[in-house]
Amino acid sequence: MTTRTRTWILLAGLSALFVAVGGLVGGTGGIAVFLLIAVAFNFAMFWFSDRLALKTSRARPLEPGEAPDLVADVEELAARARIPVPRLYLIPSQQPNAFATGRTPKRSAVAVTEGLVTLMPREQVRGVLAHELAHIRNRDVLVATLAAMIGAAISAIAHFLQFQWLFGGDDDESPLGLVGTIAAILIAPIAAMLLQFAISRQREFLADATAAELLGTGRPLADALATLQRGVEVIPMQVNPATASLYIANPLSGHGMASLFSTHPPIPVRIERLVALDAARGL
């Protein structure tokens, strides 16, 4: 099963959960109301997400003539990916890291930290840039917005059910209906969140694979991921939790059970997959 297929299966599961929970509110009418609320909220976030992400990270536009190697590599990789050259930004942090944002390829931007440019070999930086351009080519902002829209609607329905149950519940409600309502209130938002995170992890795997395709090998990105992991562990960086999922190496990543609540797959697993891709190609 391909990574793309897994992504759409997870989105289908999230949609099914939304339909089931929405039906508890009032059938089709209840679903429509909360869907409209979720669409309006997430459309606004989708429209302004690039500006918000760049502002919260304190990123500034690259000056003319600044970091010429970075500019040249982005232009070359964008041509390979057949996408417009994104705007480039620099984040004032010594932790090596980067993210891509923008609602469409024409409106995209790539922000890299000062540490990425100064501390990492150029070939590894190219690996990171290829990963970020892969997110743009794969339209991952759109996929993430769809998942967030459905997840937000599920949470809104759960909150409505909680309010209705506490203050306006029906005394004649059947035990089965009561169990369903409690499950929707307690379990549905957590399940939706886990599905969203799983979708995000699949998109990271897909971006890694696409980056390897753009570079002709996964080795530069695999080496870069190992460097990024060390950098995240030893160099602190102030990151808004709301934007942490955008970065190629998640500053808030966890291990064990915490990995279920991570938006990124474990870096060792990502490296293993890149090595396996090269082996499959005889590289």
* Residue numbers of the domain that contains 248: 3-280
The reported pLDDT for the residue numbered 87 is 95
Beta bridge partners of 100: 110
Is residue 245 very low, low, confident or very high in pLDDT (cuts 50, 70, 90)? confident
The reported pLDDT for the residue numbered 174 is 45
Range name among 104-113, 193-202, 243-252 with the lowest pLDDT average: 193-202
The Cα–Cα gap between 209 and 13 comes to: 24
The reported pLDDT for the residue numbered 269 is 95
165 versus 229: which is more confidently predicted? 229
Helix extents (H) in the chain:
3-56, 68-81, 114-119, 122-137, 140-168, 175-186, 188-215, 219-234, 267-280
Mean pLDDT of 95-105: 89
Asked whether residue 26 carries a pLDDT value surpassing 60, the answer given is: no
Q: What percent of the chain has pLDDT over 70?
A: 59
Our count of domains for the chain comes to: 1
* Three-class secondary structure of residue 281 per DSSP: coil
Q: Round the average pLDDT of the chain to a whole number and report it.
A: 77
The reported pLDDT for the residue numbered 12 is 54
Angle between helices 122-137 and 140-168 (to 10 degrees): 60
- The one catalytic residue in 76, 114, 132, 233 is 132
Confidence (pTM): 0.74
5 versus 220: which is more confidently predicted? 220
132 noted as active-site residue: yes
130 versus 167: which is more confidently predicted? 130
